[in-house]
């Protein structure tokens, strides 16, 4: 019996003599298929259980060359001949064994952490349904779920009811790319047909702390990365509105056209929220598009306690919001939301007759494909919809508030602790807590000396490498501007408790003590 649980019991009466050709669509393939899938589910559920168990390692680190050479029968190479189903199941087990447990309570490495069981169930169903969002015809339920969810998200943003549009895209970078495309279409629709030469030199503005996807979009869409102007920030990483206005005037004086401002709501490193209302005033004054990149911060819109950080968001023309980050939805789940109805389709439609036939028997305004830059589009909505059903809006709010409380706990714990230095002063706006750990050997050294900076720069990478080797926890680090490498702790993991924060601090001190 695979489970000792009192609730559930499997009986695999036979051993596993199955071959691929026994599986569906083979005639009478039902039993073999069920047996195979349940063996797999056994592997997966065991993995899930262990991922939540703090006595399990977060990862079992190996270098690329080690995995490529093959680990005890785990061979990554593909061959002409098939493997047995038994080996396939072993491959599945090994794939998980040498991976990283992103759902582990002590995994803090990325903005997306944790494993939500309802979200997981949603993904399993999504892959079983294996369909495509481009038409109502083959995804009727999912298309409606997307529409209703986007509507709800726009309501939460605070846009007028009945207006607006949006779409789920494969991640925040693509969502941000959409915002730039739509802004260009709004002010210079002829670029769609005639290219960038039909417009004056267009300039985009975004914080020096913002996500690199705005610059990437500028490069990809033909603006050029030099026409993405980086805005200065205060010591907390928030855009300084006066700097924006000065740079707009500078650009205008050169004869270029200021088109678009991105305000970040939850920056990647500091978790900073740009002052949206002040930026919106400037955008209105100069007739520019205002995009809010809430990829990371978006979840806070669902918290009555924290949504004030988004004050002014209802004045934005478009918003990126990634439920796969702060809200714990499995990857990928990112929405681009647009205030003006129709502009998304106007920007992207090519009216491909073979796919979007106007003479179908249903209301074809539900076909979403021509609004997208994709053709086929993965179903990203269901897991999110299902989590919303299971938690309710209040469940998301509780999760957000809890993560921010934990982050405050960490902040309170280390801000005056010996051997720690905060990267910026004051309570973080999001769950990002940025700090240096100063090993005893560096304490008391002159902070501005070259030697100190060089040594400190190596501390976080060294501790991180040891952390990964020992597999106990994972947290990110990076430099920022003139600031040498520091830890960036982020909390979006629903499994994390105060004791896990304590563990992280203990672990940093244990590993860094003798550096």
**H-state helical runs in 254-356:** 276-285, 343-348
Q: With 0-12 CB in 10 A as exposed, 13-18 as middle and 19+ as buried, what is 295?
A: buried
Taking CB under 8 A as the binding criterion, the range among 92-100, 159-167, 237-245, 283-291 that sits at the site for a second copy is 92-100
SS3 label, residue 175:
helix
Question: Is residue 502 a contact point for a second copy (CB under 8 A)?
Answer: no
Residues 192-221 that bind a second copy (CB under 8 A): 192-198, 201, 211-213, 215-216, 218-221
Distance of closest approach, residue 427 Cβ to a second copy, in angstroms = 21
**11 token code pair:** 């009986």
CA-to-CA distance for 78 and 425, rounded, in angstroms? Answer: 52
**Which residue in the block uniquely carries the two structure tokens 């809430």?**
294
Question: Is residue 129 a contact point for a second copy (CB under 8 A)?
Answer: yes
Using CB under 8 A, pick the residue from 17, 70, 148, 252 that binds a second copy.
148
3-class DSSP string for 449-488: CHHHHHHHHHHHHHHHHHHHHHCCCEEEEEEECCEEEEEE
CA-to-CA distance for 326 and 113, rounded, in angstroms? Answer: 8
Using CB under 8 A, pick the residue from 106, 306, 391, 399 that binds a second copy.
391
Question: Is residue 268 a contact point for a second copy (CB under 8 A)?
Answer: yes
Taking CB under 8 A as the binding criterion, the range among 99-107, 275-283, 412-420, 503-511 that sits at the site for a second copy is 99-107
- The three-point CA angle 407-473-329 to 5° equals 60
- Convert 205-241 to b/e letters by CB count within 10 Å (16 or more is b): bbbebbbebbbbbbeebebeeebbbbbebeebbbbbb
| Contact call for residues 474 and 109 (beta carbons, < 8 A) | yes
**H-state helical runs in 288-415:** 343-348, 381-414
Residues 12-71 that bind a second copy (CB under 8 A): 12-14, 20, 23-25, 29-31, 33-38, 40-41, 43-45, 47-49, 52, 61-65, 67-68
Distance of closest approach, residue 70 Cβ to a second copy, in angstroms = 11
**444 token code pair:** 């008391």
Question: Is residue 72 a contact point for a second copy (CB under 8 A)?
Answer: no
Q: Measured over all CA atoms, what is the biggest interatomic distance in the chain, rounded to whole angstroms?
A: 80
Interface pattern 278-317 for a second copy (x via CB under 8 A): ----------------------------------------
Residues 355-384 that bind a second copy (CB under 8 A): 355, 357, 359-363, 366, 372-378, 382
Distance of closest approach, residue 457 Cβ to a second copy, in angstroms = 8
Using CB under 8 A, pick the residue from 17, 70, 95, 417 that binds a second copy.
95
Question: Is residue 230 a contact point for a second copy (CB under 8 A)?
Answer: no
Radius of gyration of the chain (CA): 25
Query: Measured from the CB atom, is 312 or 477 closer to a second copy?
Result: 477
Distance of closest approach, residue 412 Cβ to a second copy, in angstroms = 23
Count the Cβ atoms, other than its own, within 10 Å of residue 200: 11
Question: Is residue 189 a contact point for a second copy (CB under 8 A)?
Answer: no
Using CB under 8 A, pick the residue from 157, 229, 248, 269 that binds a second copy.
269
Taking CB under 8 A as the binding criterion, the range among 109-117, 243-251, 277-285, 505-513 that sits at the site for a second copy is 109-117
Query: Measured from the CB atom, is 181 or 282 closer to a second copy?
Result: 181
* DSSP conformational letter for 56: S
Query: Measured from the CB atom, is 62 or 285 closer to a second copy?
Result: 62
For the chain, first and last CA: distance in Å?
A: 49
Question: Is residue 232 a contact point for a second copy (CB under 8 A)?
Answer: no
Size of the site for a second copy (CB under 8 A): 175
Residues 424-483 that bind a second copy (CB under 8 A): 458, 461, 464-465, 468-469, 474, 476-480
- Residue 512's closest CA among 493, 483, 485? 485
Question: Is residue 323 a contact point for a second copy (CB under 8 A)?
Answer: no
Question: Is residue 499 a contact point for a second copy (CB under 8 A)?
Answer: no
């Amino acid at each position: 019996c695979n489970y000792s649980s009192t609730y559930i019991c499997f009986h695999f009466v036979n051993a596993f003599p199955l071959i691929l050709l026994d599986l569906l669509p083979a005639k009478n393939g039902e039993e073999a298929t069920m047996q195979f899938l349940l063996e797999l589910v056994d592997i997966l559920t065991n993995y899930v259980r262990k991922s939540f168990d703090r006595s399990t390692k977060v990862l079992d680190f190996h270098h690329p060359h080690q995995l490529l050479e093959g680990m005890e029968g785990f061979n990554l190479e593909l061959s002409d001949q098939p493997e047995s189903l038994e080996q396939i199941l072993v491959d599945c087990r090994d794939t998980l064994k040498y991976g990283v447990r992103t759902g582990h309570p002590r995994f803090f490495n990325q903005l997306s952490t944790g494993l939500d069981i309802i979200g997981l169930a949603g993904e399993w169903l999504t892959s079983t349904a294996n369909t495509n969002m481009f038409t109502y015809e083959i995804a009727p339920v999912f298309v409606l779920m997307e529409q209703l969810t986007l509507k709800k998200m726009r309501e939460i943003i605070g846009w007028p009811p009945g207006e607006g549009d949006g779409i789920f895209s494969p991640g925040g970078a693509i969502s941000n790319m959409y915002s730039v495309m739509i802004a260009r279409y709004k002010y210079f629709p002829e670029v769609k047909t005639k290219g960038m030469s039909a417009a004056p030199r267009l300039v985009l503005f975004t914080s020096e702390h913002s996500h690199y996807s705005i610059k990437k979009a500028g490069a990809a869409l033909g603006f050029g990365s030099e026409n993405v102007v980086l805005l200065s920030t205060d010591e907390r990483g928030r855009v300084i509105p006066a700097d924006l206005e000065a740079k707009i005037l500078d650009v205008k004086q050169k004869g270029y056209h200021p088109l678009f401002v991105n305000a970040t709501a939850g920056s990647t490193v500091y978790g900073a929220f740009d002052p949206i209302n002040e930026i919106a005033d400037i955008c209105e004054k100069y007739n520019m598009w205002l995009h809010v990149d809430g990829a990371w911060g978006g979840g806070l819109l669902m918290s009555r306690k924290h949504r004030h950080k988004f004050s002014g968001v209802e004045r934005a023309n478009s918003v990126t919001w990634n439920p796969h980050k702060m809200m714990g939805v499995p990857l990928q789940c990112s929405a681009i939301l647009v205030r003006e109805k129709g502009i998304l389709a106007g920007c992207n439609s090519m009216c491909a007759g073979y796919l979007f036939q106007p003479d179908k028997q249903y209301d074809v305004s539900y076909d979403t494909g021509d609004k997208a830059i994709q053709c086929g589009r993965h179903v990203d909505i269901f897991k999110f919809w299902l989590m919303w059903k299971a938690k309710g809006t209040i469940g998301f709010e509780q999760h957000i508030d809890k993560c921010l409380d934990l982050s405050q706990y960490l902040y309170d714990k280390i801000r005056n602790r010996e051997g720690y230095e905060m990267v910026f002063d004051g309570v973080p706006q999001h769950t990002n807590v940025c700090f240096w750990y100063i090993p005893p050997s560096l304490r008391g050294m002159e902070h501005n000396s070259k030697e100190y900076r060089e040594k400190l720069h190596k501390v976080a990478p060294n501790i991180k490498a040891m952390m990964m080797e020992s597999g106990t926890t994972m947290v990110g680090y990076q430099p920022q501007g003139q600031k040498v490498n520091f830890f960036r702790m982020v909390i979006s993991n629903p499994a994390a408790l105060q004791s896990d924060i304590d563990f992280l601090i203990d672990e940093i001190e244990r590993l860094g003590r003798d550096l």
